[in-house]
Amino acid sequence: MRSACGTVEVAELPGLGSLLLLLAASPILMFAAHAAAHRLLDRAGARPAVHASALVALIAAFVPVCGVAWRLGIFDASQGAATPLCAFAYVAIVYGALAVLYVDVVNIAETSLHMHLLLEIAWSGGVPLADLLERYSADRMIAARLERLTSIGQVRIANGRCSIANRSALYLAGAIDAWRVVLGLPTTPPDAANAPAAVVRPAR
């Protein structure tokens, strides 16, 4: 069976098994690069958001992955003109898919209210219900999101008013809305003003 991108059989590609092992281990490299990038940016006074430092780390980690793949001979031009290009495309696509998965994990860890509540209760050995309700009130949650949006330059707060500072996230939001329309999903949250208030009942 021959490769669709060139005249070299897939089985003849040198270091293919090692390349697959490299890609399987690349999430560990992403994690290590993320830890280093976030600490370095923080020490430099950049106050990086978790997602921003993750993006920097994912781009930086792609360089050694390509370097190792080159050393394995996967990008060896002597195999033919098309094969190295297709090999690079394969590495980039698989790495990109793993990077998206890593960002999803980061997003869950950073924004999941369920996870934050469970961890806080577990670490403290028990938290008074009134403290949790006050700490995770709507005002505090909105304030935390506004602080994050201003730190990444998406929102500007001046003279008691909020305004858009960068429209890049809005373009992404528009694309997501279009995707939801195609699926038949609502593009706006339910009317919170008319929704019944949530009641937390203690366990019996």
Q: What is the pLDDT of residues 11-66, one digit of tens each?
A: 445 567 788 888 899 999 999 999 998 888 888 877 777 778 888 899 999 999 98
Q: What is the mean pLDDT of the chain?
A: 78
Which among 203, 83, 93, 192 is positioned nearest to 141, based on CA atoms? Answer: 192
Q: Is the dihedral of CA 20, 24, 30, 33 positive or negative?
A: negative
Confidence bin at 85 (pLDDT 50/70/90): confident
What residues contact residue 114 under an 8 Å CB cut-off, 6+ apart? none
Mean pLDDT of 83-94: 83
The whole-number pLDDT of residue 7 equals 47
Considering only residues 164 and 137, tell me which one the structure prediction assigns the higher pLDDT: 164
Mean pLDDT of 176-191: 77
Q: Which helix (H) or strand (E) holds 139?
A: helix 138-151
Q: Which amino acid would we find at residue 45?
A: G
Q: Which two structure tokens, joined as six digits, stand for 101?
A: 């998965």
Q: How far apart are CA 191 and CA 201, in angstroms?
A: 24
* pLDDT surpasses 60 at 160: yes
Mean pLDDT of 127-143: 81
The whole-number pLDDT of residue 99 equals 93
Mean pLDDT of 68-87: 71
Highest mean pLDDT among 14-23, 79-88, 183-192: 14-23
* pLDDT surpasses 90 at 81: no
Q: How far apart are CA 85 and CA 67, in angstroms?
A: 15
User: How far is CA 94 from its chain centroid?
Assistant: 16
* pLDDT surpasses 70 at 94: yes
Residue 95 in contact with residue 108, Cβ under 8 Å?
no
Residue 148 in contact with residue 52, Cβ under 8 Å?
no
Mean pLDDT of 119-144: 80
Mean pLDDT of 68-94: 75
Angstrom CA distances, 180 to 23, 64, 110, 176, 189, stand at 32, 37, 23, 6, 12
The whole-number pLDDT of residue 67 equals 86
The whole-number pLDDT of residue 5 equals 54
Q: What percent of the chain has pLDDT over 90?
A: 16
The whole-number pLDDT of residue 11 equals 47
Confidence bin at 78 (pLDDT 50/70/90): low
